[in-house]
Amino acid sequence: MKVEVDESRCLAVGNCALIAPEVFDQGDDDGTVVVLDAAPPEHTHETVRAAALRCPASVITLHDDTTPPHGA
């Protein structure tokens, strides 16, 4: 799994950081999403998917290992 986010559309709600703190955090300046691990280990995938689903701005995109990231 690869994690991609669009920080420019982030609403800084923080659901992702609450649900998957090992993968997401919030920036100190404006609270927008920060990806801590763009290729999280398999044991976190279910939690990362839950975090993406609960993002109110839908800024988190998940790619399986066979799908190239956006723009590649």
Task: Express each pLDDT in 13-57 by its tens digit.
Answer: 999 999 999 999 999 999 999 999 999 999 999 999 999 999 999
| pLDDT the model gives residue 67 | 52
Please say whether the beta carbons of 33 and 16 come within 8 A: yes
Record the pTM: 0.86
Domain 2-63 fold is Alpha-Beta Plaits (3.30.70)
Residue position matching structure tokens 């999403």:
33
Both ends of the chain: CA-CA distance in Å?
15
